[in-house]
Amino acid sequence: MNLTLNNIFYKYPTSKKMTLNGITVDMASNKIGLIGESGSGKSTLIHLLNALHRPTHGEITIGDNIITKESKLKKLQHIRKDVAIVYQFTDLQLFAETVKQELLFALNNFGIEKENIDLEIEGYFKAFNLDLEYLKVSPFSLSGGQKKKVAIITMLLIDPKILILDEPTVGLDPQSVEDILGAIDEMTKQGLKVIMISHDMNAVYKFCDDIVELTHGMKTFDGSKYDFFKHKYRQKNILMLPSELSYAATIDVNNVLYDELYNGRGLEEFLKEKNV
């Protein structure tokens, strides 16, 4: 599903300044990382994509739908079926008595009827490495990683075309991160477009193909992961590099190692080869 933003400005009614300033981006890739410091406008942007807000100026194209200042949000609610958001704080999204009821909540709201829902849930549980026994328990009794998986499956059940994950790796154990990113990665191969908001550069480096960077509501980068990290590598901005590149960036004065490392050759192997 095509997703483009054309010169998007947004100002909250309670604020005096623009939160988003002229964002133009064509989100063509299926694995996009949306990054930027806190307060840069990432959350506002995803709310615009979900038709929770209307842009103050500019237009957003999601498939055949166009969201502008003049759009009637009530009439655009069906967009939420195509663009799903999983928020960072899963505790605030769960409320049902059992995990099964939680999973069916969004499905019922959108009036989606599926004959093989149990099989589908089973498939997702398998993909996310979750035990089917959890279907009967309260969502609040689950661990952080399990809650996150349930929250993602809830949204996947409505068959969205675009899935927005807000900080999907925060506070999770490495196995849960692996499970979630692995399962989502498989789904992107079947056409699901994923936008991942994250401060975790390891997750962004591992998962995303393209990156959009926002700074103070303005787009400061839009391009491939390769170009993004190359730029940060040359800048020696180790805070914005994944761990496997950050150490190399500090010792690689002439920036000759980036391509080797990016293409999967370990630093250790490279240094051994060069007798360093």
Residues 10-39 interacting with other proteins (rule: CB under 8 A): 12-14
Beta strands in the chain (DSSP E): 3-10, 20-26, 31-35, 57-62, 65-67, 83-86, 162-166, 193-197, 210-215, 218-224
State yes or no: residue 74 binds other proteins (CB under 8 A).
yes
Does 262 help bind other proteins (rule: CB under 8 A)? Answer: no
User: Does 9 interact with other proteins (rule: CB under 8 A)?
Assistant: no
Task: Kindly tell me which of 9 and 270 has the beta carbon lying closer to other proteins.
Answer: 9
Q: Which residue has the tokens 């002439």?
A: 254
- Residue 105 in the binding site for other proteins (CB under 8 A): yes
- Please tell me whether residue 52 binds other proteins under the rule CB under 8 A: yes
Enumerate the β-bridge partners of residue 33: 196, 211
Nearer Cβ to other proteins (30/154) = 154
* Beta-bridge partners for 6: 59
CA distance 29 to 41: 21
Give the Cα separation of 168 and 209 in Å (integer): 17
Q: Which stretch binds other proteins (CB under 8 A): 9-17, 178-186, 203-211, 267-275?
A: 9-17
Residues 82-110 as b/e (b if ≥16 CB within 10 A, e otherwise) read bbbbbbbebeebbeeeebbebbbebbeee
Contact 150, 94 (CB under 8 A): yes
- Return the range that interacts with other proteins (CB under 8 A); candidates 79-87, 115-123, 211-219, 228-236: 79-87
Per CB under 8 A, which region of 113-121, 152-160, 205-213, 259-267 contacts other proteins?
152-160
Choices 103-111, 171-179, 224-232, 240-248; region in contact with other proteins by CB under 8 A: 103-111
The minimum distance between CB 184 and other proteins, in angstroms, equals 17
For residue 272, the minimal CB distance to other proteins (Å) is 48
Q: Binding of other proteins at residue 70 (CB under 8 A)?
A: no
- 243: alpha, beta or left? (left if phi > 0; alpha if psi -120 to 50): alpha
Nearer to other proteins, 36 or 139 (CB): 139
Closer residue to other proteins (CB): 14 or 116: 14
Q: Lay out the site mask for other proteins across 164-183 (x = CB under 8 A, - = otherwise).
A: --------------------
Nearer to other proteins, 147 or 219 (CB): 147
Name the amino acid, one letter, at 122.
Answer: E
- The DSSP H or E segment spanning 244 is helix 243-251
Evaluate whether 87 touches 148 at the Cβ level (below 8 Å).
no
Binding interface with other proteins (CB under 8 A): 12-14, 47, 50, 52-53, 74, 77, 80-81, 84-85, 87, 89, 91-95, 105-106, 109-110, 140, 154-155, 158
